[in-house]
Structure 1
């Protein structure tokens, strides 16, 4: 044993993450947004505005705290993964059974696993009867999986292929029976270890919106710094002195600092988090609000997302003159729900729903289900005599019943029809026994056939409507499941996915096609069945490489790698494993696909709102900065004093943050309005911003020069330019927001009122170094502001456009090497 442990290592399926606090500090310091806040705050302090400076410095604290929180959640995620694993194991060593730590299990150990216990390692089942395992958290299989002991010799060859039914896997649980397992793979070599290693090593890419905002801020900062230096030098060379040069540069710097952009991004994302929470979607990473609005493809987990994830009796098909209640009574007598079998639990629940069932006075014999017998029989004494009740495989039960060949063929046809719909069909029969003549054996023939009990995992209410809404929005839907292909097809047809003939591939077929075509997926793919976690991960990466923005839903450990790799990982909050919830960026509190559709609508609306807000900021900031630099450079007196910039900021901030907060509407999911842009603004948007800015700059410069006149009335000229800018701000807000909200109307009115009061009231005008305007001046300012808004009119009637995103292929995940002469079959289930 010591030699094997030295060779294969300890059974540490999960290792502590290598992400240390030192790495956390390095990553935090390297964040460009952090340095932007530092530089901006220092500049504010130098310019004599301590409130703004210290506020921005204080904003660094929550950013660092968020990094620390994410570091903590990484460790918590590892703890959540460990909850699926065995802590102890019973192994046979030196001829005796010993209870040891699960990490002490080594390759070659014989491990005894009781019902309800998890497997401590991957291995071959060598002994046990009536074995069923629960593998949904690892493979996605919704039904219990039956296991058979491996009899006889292994297949020949150095790398024998062993059927899946002989394997017990770490991270799965034994439901029924008592199994003896020969450990083959331990530690990171287990399937569970491979999944968790892929999840913990995956890195999240920066979202396009984050990159766009950072790029925009960097450009504006560089332009502002250049303008400030040039302006200071020119004013000094013009003979105005160092004081005027420094004031000019400082005023321009305050006006040009683009602090509204990161503030608006944070504010809008926070608003999106709140709105998604109202739709029962808990957002763990605020940028996911942006990503979900850009989603073009959803890889949906069947069990628990599209279906309820719980086996139920869908229908009863009794024989003539047999009531459904009698059929369920017989099926429940031959069931043992206390053993944890989901099928027996579903039958017992359906029988109890028919009414209270009197317990049998005595259970005389039980003949349990085995892979060889494929049926279960109970001999019970009831009030009216001795009865034998049998349920099991329709082929076996029908052969033991007294039916004519025509009746038997008719029922077999019914079984095939139900199975083609992906349902689990159980046949039931009974036989009255002679209390004195029965010798204790199981009745093998002459049974009275009662009918069929059909079980299924029912589709969740509203799923079909949500699928239709996604189709209307142009979102590609792919069902990814570990279930049987026919089960997946039946569910797809029921919910309207792929029409009457949905396109389906097995997981191994998908893997083969991706390798043959270089990662190119077939078009109109609807279903991937019998999928392994690595194949689901490859699917997500292939979709991303083809330009799709991918959302993945999942609830089990098998979904963890795909949830990590997806642009938006969506975990089920009600039935999902802790590990899935930890790595996902969004957790659905109600496990409802309809919540995903609503979240996509909110995300798209948020993208539109944020883009409109940024467009407004550019429309105001560009004329503000250009006129603040151009007029002094031309040798005129300063246009803006610091108090003027404060006035404008009091207008710009609430307008950008509050005026464009539109709620999601059905139009947000129209396919012609899919905001999945890699670039934040299209060329048409930039053209509209540039033309409007040029027009507004021209209006302000001409109005300033005309009002300045020969008497050099600077206060009158400043008032003229300020009124034109504020009128244009109100016009931009009205056009971009459509005045659809009360706040937008209020802000537009307040903007115009501020200009009227601050300019026309003499006392306030003197305080602001302005002078009241005449009626003609107001007419010129209003006409000029309206002219600046004209270039925006065509853009209001054009739909959102979807440019071609640049695909980025994530690096592949290395496959672990096998270290023994065993391997799992590529087809996971029989």
Structure 2
């Protein structure tokens, strides 16, 4: 632990020299031995490897075998259709995968291009990749830290570390040795500077103690590299479904083939019929349909300010029951804001400030004049704390530019982390006035009077106690407290040594990075939807709990745990207690991953939101990682599944609602396709068992599977969302696709579609006893059209089509009309009729097949009415 070692001891241990630095030869030797100071990543997969990964699925294997056999028996058209589906599905997967996994690339690009180091007694500028352990590095404001450093010198040094710590204000640094040998979080290592963080104030000198992958950011890179891909619930279910259907199809086909052999049928004819049955049992278009529905959902979500990087994440959102959210920039606005002030012995909310009150006016003016930051036209520079003070003036129409122009600065004493004070001398109201702002304890030490009700009084112990009590009340609300004091001096007394003495205390200002206004209502919506919000932050425990209380996440500090407490539990012990806590403060990247995994161990579907480098490993470990698009680092975006373009927590809740509706629509599409395929299996298998002629040709089945029922399935995938979906709890992670009545409806409708197809076939044989082709045509049309009508009933499993609105889904109506038109064209146009081996139907025939095709739709609507009346 470098922070607990003396700097001289470290310089000696690393064989360096504080004055001269390393020699050029020694630096070259270390560079050759340890390699460049950059982050490494694992070898990326080629496009071909990604393509092979997409077809590594049981369902795809069975389809490939079917295609090969089709070619062998010269049924080339069947094989071509199967191969097209496989290819399109694989290409969609490759496109999505090739856009993913850019986190390590972003980490590499975060390294600073140049660094100032001491070599051979000279200060030179080198590429950051050439920095080695033992180098003496010079740092100043505006420069990135090139490697992990143990500070040797620090003068008013502040470093922006929010990407690591989650804190919204820069960390103050010093070179003092930390005598505490316990494990400290990054935010408390005040004598350390870390690779890729930014110096915002002051200057310093440090010795490199870690480079490349041995830095804190390198550790995060390793965690990202090691974290395995998570398979989403939908992917798992579809994979299992594919295996089940594949084995079932093969089993049924073998059984039917054996039966047909006992019946003495033609070997080749029954072999092709068995293959047709296998093809009928497997929904070839299912992967493509699901991918397209997800892609359409992604387009809708972009309009809601959510960019989905990985298609299956849309479905995962609908299952989320825990949102682990970073505080800074996600639940809060990531901007220090003054909320309360204290003058005349009273704490008052900022919006109730009376600027005509002399003490209040003096407090605001003094805080603005004793300030080096700027804030104009929405653009800010300088320390966030000082920017917050200027923003108070902007709200009250007291602009810094005007105030400083009429009250010019004459002298100053810059802020110092040891004094915790900043002082300026201004010609204020034509009098030389000293303004000193700083920490409350530092101001109290140098103040002997107090301004109350326009009178300057002695600063008695009672008055000081009142001020301390007010400061403590603000601190209890997690406010960062700054105090202001002043005094008037004559022109001959502007001596720096006398400025910070005998001051008159004016008042206090309390500030915080406040919650976003819309977040609280979004958390309430989440609660109503059965979703828990967990706050995870690098900030202090009290600050985190105050924000959590305000947002309704937690009720008291007993529901909060610090990172140091997490370390006291093993992984198994932590899993047992994780549900008792809603706030986790002062955490490291390792802690965040541990928290996410502990929640997942209870079977939860966990979303993790964040914006910093420190969030990347946990974003990747979560079921769905959500990164901020505006304030988020490239690393966080690269590791996330979803990126918010407005950095708004409310968008996550909208995305969850959209995810639930999309999953419901996917479920409708899947049940619809499986019902249709089951109907085909029923029709073929029953006909074979009863020793009937084959009612359908192989090409009929492929046409219906890949063309006719694909358009309704897609239209169901874009069905208008259910407005009450967020009034229901999240679906269980292990919930079957056939949960509720869906499984029963699948079987009922499969039998109905199969039965109506056979009815049409038998009726065709009776009407046209000398024409098998005529009977097969009627069966073919009924199989197709009955599925089209049946899709109307699939829009809602409980409500009638007339309750939810017959014309609400215009895409579905268009699909049905288009499907019937296609079917009419196929059997009417001579060229297509010869390919499909069908017969042109008369107007009388069409009347019969339409009436038969309506049977599944009518029965489904009647079932809904019966269930509703019973309920």
The normalised TM-score by structure 2 is 0.81
In the other structure, the counterpart of 1:296 is: 321
In the other structure, the counterpart of 2:367 is: 331
Higher mean displacement: 263-272 or 34-43:
34-43
1:357 aligns to what SS in structure 2? helix
Shift of 1:768: 3.1
User: In 2, Cα distance between the equivalents of 1:779 and 1:360?
Assistant: 90
1:212 to 2:237 alignment: yes
TM-align CA RMSD:
3.9
Shift of 1:774: 11
Instruction: Tell me if structure 2 keeps the 8 A contact 1:235–1:244.
Output: no
2:465 aligns to what SS in structure 1? helix
1:282 aligns to what SS in structure 2? strand
In the other structure, the counterpart of 1:823 is: none
In the other structure, the counterpart of 1:347 is: 389
Change (3 A) 1:433 1:67: same
Change (3 A) 1:662 1:317: farther
1:269 to 2:269 alignment: no
Change (3 A) 1:205 1:752: closer
Shift of 1:361: 6.7
In the other structure, the counterpart of 2:434 is: 388
Instruction: Tell me if structure 1 keeps the 8 A contact 2:150–2:209.
Output: yes
Partner deviation per Cα, 1:288-312 (whole Å, 9 max, x = no partner): 1111111111110111111111123
1:117 aligns to what SS in structure 2? coil
1:398 to 2:444 alignment: yes
Change (3 A) 1:632 1:514: same
1:313 to 2:357 alignment: no
Partner deviation per Cα, 1:262-304 (whole Å, 9 max, x = no partner): 1221121112101211110011111111111111111101111
User: In 2, Cα distance between the equivalents of 1:69 and 1:557?
Assistant: 22
Instruction: Tell me if structure 2 keeps the 8 A contact 1:720–1:781.
Output: no
Instruction: Tell me if structure 1 keeps the 8 A contact 2:338–2:392.
Output: yes
Change (3 A) 1:413 1:161: closer
Change (3 A) 1:103 1:620: same
Equivalent position to 2:839, from 762, 768, 777 = 768
Change (3 A) 1:647 1:592: same
2:324 aligns to what SS in structure 1? strand
1:387 aligns to what SS in structure 2? strand
In the other structure, the counterpart of 1:735 is: 793
In the other structure, the counterpart of 2:270 is: 245
Shift of 1:570: 0.6
Instruction: Tell me if structure 2 keeps the 8 A contact 1:728–1:786.
Output: no
Instruction: Tell me if structure 1 keeps the 8 A contact 2:575–2:598.
Output: yes
Equivalent position to 1:280, from 291, 302, 305 = 305
Structure 2 spans left out of the alignment, 5+ residues: 1-21, 346-356, 375-380, 450-458
Change (3 A) 1:12 1:20: farther
Shift of 1:85: 2.7
Shift of 1:746: 2.1
Partner deviation per Cα, 1:546-585 (whole Å, 9 max, x = no partner): 1111111111100010011111111100111111111111
Shift of 1:325: 3.8
Equivalent position to 1:9, from 34, 42, 50 = 34
In the other structure, the counterpart of 2:202 is: 177
Mapping of residues 418-433 of structure 1, within 5 Å: 418-433=474-489
Higher mean displacement: 561-570 or 106-115:
106-115
Mapping of residues 785-824 of structure 1, within 5 Å: 786-787=858-859
Change (3 A) 1:382 1:518: closer
In the other structure, the counterpart of 2:415 is: 369
Shift of 1:783: 5.4
User: In 2, Cα distance between the equivalents of 1:379 and 1:36?
Assistant: 84
Shift of 1:734: 3.0
In the other structure, the counterpart of 1:685 is: 742
Instruction: Tell me if structure 1 keeps the 8 A contact 2:626–2:640.
Output: yes
Instruction: Tell me if structure 1 keeps the 8 A contact 2:578–2:595.
Output: no
2:493 aligns to what SS in structure 1? coil
Structure 1 spans left out of the alignment, 5+ residues: 800-830
Partner deviation per Cα, 1:133-162 (whole Å, 9 max, x = no partner): 1110112122221112216xx749899999
User: In 1, Cα distance between the equivalents of 2:32 and 2:861?
Assistant: 75
The normalised TM-score by structure 1 is 0.85
Aligned length, in residue pairs: 794
